[in-house]
Structure 1
Amino acid sequence: MDLALSTAGVAVRAAGAVSPRWGAAVALPLFGHVSRPRPVGAGEQATMWQARRSTLRIPGIQRSGPGVVAYEWGHGTDVVVLAHGWTGRASQFAALVRELTAEGLRVVAFDAPAHGDSSGRRTYLVDWIDALTELQQRHGRFHAVVGHSFGGLAALVAGADGVQADHVITVAAPADADLLLSQFQGMLGYGDPTSAALRERFARRYFPGEADPFGRLSPVRRPLPAGVALLAVHDEADRMVPYGELSRIRAANGGARAVTTRGFGHNRILESDPFLDAVLEFIAPPAIREVPRVATAEAADAA
């Protein structure tokens, strides 16, 4: 745990010891805070330079209309949208962008608020869903949505909310927004009374009048509509999102396909051949290649 996170945990626990509501008041601004943008990797730069850039205006969690930087590659009629994860950025999909455009697909991605080249310091799941909704207004029904980690959760929730796509692919995705709250509590070490007060405060602040916002943000309770093909990919060595989330996603969506990889971890999986092959085989018929159900990296990823 770094110093800033440790200090934040002390502050939340101290306030929570006086009153769970006080603890929640201290914790809420920290929950959606993003410290600094992830840099563009050396192997990602050429792909990002080739992108056509634009700006999306979305309502956002703050309802202040933040500007979101969007990227587009290729000129095909079938559109594939890519949604990065928390503290990620669109450039992490560079390898997949190259593969998809080579197959004649148009690829669209975005940097969520407080991520990549988009401005801001705070964000939450609603911003991802708003970005996907706005891109649908631009491009119509999607051929596919691919979401990594937090972006995978957003893809599932957006699909249940009415964003239309023929295919949804999640990679290293949580099955429920409740996991995020549990992980946040684990990082800061505050007690269950403060956790309950934080849930109540978050719902009242950002979803006023909504009886059960966490139910709406749960792909387990609200699966994808019938007819949407789902592929869920997860690595057994993922240290960020538990591997067990894969089975929860699959169980909630009858007929979903699951692919397990080994040794790529949470982030390097996005550049792995098993993941790239699985996506291409799933969304670019006829099948380009067969994908094994279990694939092994040459070396384990510490991520």
Structure 2
Amino acid sequence: MDLALATAGASVRLAAAVSPRWGAAVAMPLFAYVARPRPVHADDEPTMSRARRRTVRIPGVDRRGVDVETYEWGAGSRTVVLAHGWSGRASQFAVLVRELVASGFRVVAFDAPAHGSSAGRRTYLVDWLDVFAALQERHGAFEGMVGHSFGGLATLVGVAGGTVSERVVTIAAPADADLLLSQFQAMLRYSDGVSARMRERFVERYFPGESDPFAWLSSVRRPLPAGVPLLVAHDDGDRVVPFAEAGRIVAANHGARMLPTTGLGHNRILASDVVLDAVLAHLEAPVRTPAPVARLDGPGVVTTAA
């Protein structure tokens, strides 16, 4: 455990000794905090330098507005959106970008708030959903979406809630937001009492007025619309997101296809030949049953139009 994490955990536990509510008050800002962005790897710089860069403005977790850096390669009407994970950035998809462009897709990626070249220091899943909405307004329906890790969960939640994408791929993704809160508790080693207060604050902060936002922040409790093909890739040695999460996603989404790997971990899986080939095959395969258009009338309220 590094010094910053140990110090943060000690601060939460010290406050919790007075009251679990105080402990949660100290922990909550840490939950949305993102460390300084990782640099672009030298091997990925040529791909990123060829991107057409733009921005989209979204409300952000503070609802004050934040500009999100977007990247676009290729041309045509077949748009594939790539969503990176927590502490990631768009450049992690550089190898996949090259493969997709060579196959004739228009590829769009972004740096979420507090990530990569985008502004801010705090963010949460609602920002990914707002970016999806902004990109959909710009590009129309997506041919496919590929989400890594936290971005995979955001993609599942987004398409289940109204983002229109013919196909979905998740790579090393958690099945729901419950896992994220549980992992945060394990990292900072605070009590179950603080955890309960944290969940209350989480709902108040990000989903005011919602009785159970965890119902729609879950690919298990709210799967993809019928007819949206799903490929789930996950490494059995992933130390960040447990391999069992992939099984939960597949079990909840009828017809989903599982691609297990070995020896690739949480990040190297993004550039694996076997994964790249599977992603391309999935995105180019015909969709047998047209997907119904799901419309999100409000957080957690979904209606389906024929």
TM-score by length of 1: 0.93
The letter for the 2-side match of 1:124 is Y
**Distance in 2 between residues matched to 1:58 and 1:214, nearest whole Å:** 23
**Distance in 2 between residues matched to 1:214 and 1:197, nearest whole Å:** 15
Say if 2:241 is the partner of 1:241.
yes
Alignment of 1:61-72 (within 5 A): 61-72=61-72
Aligned to 1:265: 265
**Distance in 2 between residues matched to 1:285 and 1:256, nearest whole Å:** 14
Q: State the Cα distance separating 1:103 from its structure 2 match.
A: 0.4
Aligned to 2:221: 221
Aligned to 1:205: 205
Aligned to 2:294: none
The letter for the 2-side match of 1:145 is M
* 1:172-202 CA-partner distances (Å, limit 9, x unpaired): 0000100000000000000100000011011
**Distance in 2 between residues matched to 1:236 and 1:163, nearest whole Å:** 29
**Distance in 2 between residues matched to 1:234 and 1:285, nearest whole Å:** 20
Say if 2:138 is the partner of 1:138.
yes
**Which 5+ residue runs of structure 1 have no aligned equivalent?**
287-303
Q: State the Cα distance separating 1:76 from its structure 2 match.
A: 2.0
**Distance in 2 between residues matched to 1:279 and 1:112, nearest whole Å:** 22
Report the 3-state secondary structure (helix = DSSP H, G, I; strand = E; otherwise coil) of the residue aligned with 1:166.
coil
**Distance in 2 between residues matched to 1:78 and 1:8, nearest whole Å:** 45
**Distance in 2 between residues matched to 1:216 and 1:283, nearest whole Å:** 25
The letter for the 1-side match of 2:266 is H
Aligned to 2:284: 284
Report the 3-state secondary structure (helix = DSSP H, G, I; strand = E; otherwise coil) of the residue aligned with 2:266.
coil
**Higher mean Cα deviation, 12-21 or 102-111?**
12-21
The letter for the 1-side match of 2:85 is G
Aligned to 2:194: 194
* 1:100-125 CA-partner distances (Å, limit 9, x unpaired): 00001000000000000001000001
The letter for the 1-side match of 2:157 is V
Aligned to 1:162: 162
Q: State the Cα distance separating 1:59 from its structure 2 match.
A: 1.7
Aligned to 2:37: 37
* 1:263-290 CA-partner distances (Å, limit 9, x unpaired): 000000001101101101111247xxxx
Q: State the Cα distance separating 1:61 from its structure 2 match.
A: 2.0
**Distance in 2 between residues matched to 1:152 and 1:205, nearest whole Å:** 22
Aligned to 2:96: 96
Which consecutive segments of 4 or more residues in structure 1 shift more than 3 A? none
**Distance in 2 between residues matched to 1:172 and 1:102, nearest whole Å:** 24
Q: State the Cα distance separating 1:130 from its structure 2 match.
A: 0.7
**Distance in 1 between residues matched to 2:64 and 2:258, nearest whole Å:** 38
* 1:217-236 CA-partner distances (Å, limit 9, x unpaired): 11110000011110000001
**Distance in 2 between residues matched to 1:226 and 1:260, nearest whole Å:** 23
**Distance in 2 between residues matched to 1:174 and 1:133, nearest whole Å:** 22
**Distance in 2 between residues matched to 1:137 and 1:65, nearest whole Å:** 18
**Distance in 1 between residues matched to 2:68 and 2:151, nearest whole Å:** 15
**Distance in 2 between residues matched to 1:90 and 1:281, nearest whole Å:** 22
* 1:70-109 CA-partner distances (Å, limit 9, x unpaired): 0000002100000000000000000000000000100000
**Distance in 1 between residues matched to 2:23 and 2:114, nearest whole Å:** 24
Q: State the Cα distance separating 1:213 from its structure 2 match.
A: 1.3
**Distance in 2 between residues matched to 1:206 and 1:220, nearest whole Å:** 20
* 1:200-225 CA-partner distances (Å, limit 9, x unpaired): 01111221111111212111100000
Report the 3-state secondary structure (helix = DSSP H, G, I; strand = E; otherwise coil) of the residue aligned with 2:13.
helix
**Which 5+ residue runs of structure 2 have no aligned equivalent?**
287-306
The letter for the 2-side match of 1:232 is V
TM-score by length of 2: 0.92
Alignment of 1:23-34 (within 5 A): 23-34=23-34
Q: State the Cα distance separating 1:129 from its structure 2 match.
A: 0.9
Aligned to 1:80: 80
Alignment of 1:109-128 (within 5 A): 109-128=109-128
